[in-house]
Amino acid sequence: MRKSTVAVLLIAGIVVLWNLFADLLPFGPGRSAPRDMGAVDWSAIAAWPPLSEGAEVESVPDPDRTVTVIVLDDSSSMSRDFEAAKRAVLQSLDMMGDGDRVALLALNAGLILPPTPAREAGAALAERLRPMAPNGSTPLGPAVAAARDLLATEAARARGFGTYRIIVTTDGVADQPELLAAEVATTVNTTPIAVATIGIGIGTDHVLNAQGHTSYVAVDDVSRLDAALQAAIAENSRFDPIQSFE
């Protein structure tokens, strides 16, 4: 057998084996290599939140309070799904505790609802969501940074007591993936803020799916967003129970 024929057969065999076993690898065709989010800076986490002189501070902060910033994708790609997404956000309030607080931040429209007691947020949030329409791109990086800043201010008021988290809902790729990765790394490595994402119809190959650093669940379409978001709200800091959401 000629050497050229042997080489062709060898290459063909490698391709076949790769296709057979690629799904067993942490990355492969159609998937990105795991992203390095860097190391946790425990001293920065211990010093969080930064306290500013003269800032308002609660006299008796609630250590059991959870403060959630929901980041809502209002980009143009959400045009067919946006009304369902708005309903899902409103329904998620029912899963929050009496002492919890919630804020809503849209990718393009900005801050829709500042941090508000969850039990008082329903009417105001419904009114502010009603006229909203999807428009624009997917600036996830700046949105994560803005959500982190909101939570830092909330935590400073409570002298660091409580649980703080960002829940992102998105159906697309970030405008600047590297910027998003940097903002996520800053968040998970220098603050105690938990970052969770619900990917709508985009699978699991996303910058926000950083195993060991963030929580991520994929839903096939927006019809499952309400249940996934409620399940995320019901969890304090872990997303494990719905990683195989059906």
Q: What is the pLDDT of residues 132-158, one digit of tens each?
A: 999 999 999 999 999 999 999 999 999
pTM of the model: 0.81
β partners of residue 200: 219
Closest listed residue to residue 74, CA positions, set 136, 128, 147: 136
Using 50, 70 and 90 to split pLDDT, how confident is the model at 212?
confident
Report H helices in the chain: 3-21, 42-47, 82-92, 118-129, 140-157, 177-190, 225-234
pLDDT in tens, 77-99: 999 999 999 999 999 999 999 99
| pLDDT for residue 53 | 73
For the chain, the average pLDDT equals 85
Using 50, 70 and 90 to split pLDDT, how confident is the model at 3?
low
The Cα 135–Cα 114 span in angstroms is 21
pLDDT in tens, 56-80: 889 889 999 999 999 999 999 999 9
The matching CATH number, chosen from 3.30.70.100, 3.40.190.10, 1.10.10.10, 3.40.50.410, for 40-242 is 3.40.50.410
Return all residues near 38 (Cβ < 8 A) that are at least 6 apart. 185, 189
End-to-end CA gap in the chain: 53
- Determine contact, residues 138/174, Cβ cutoff 8 Å: yes
- Determine contact, residues 239/210, Cβ cutoff 8 Å: no
- Determine contact, residues 182/163, Cβ cutoff 8 Å: no
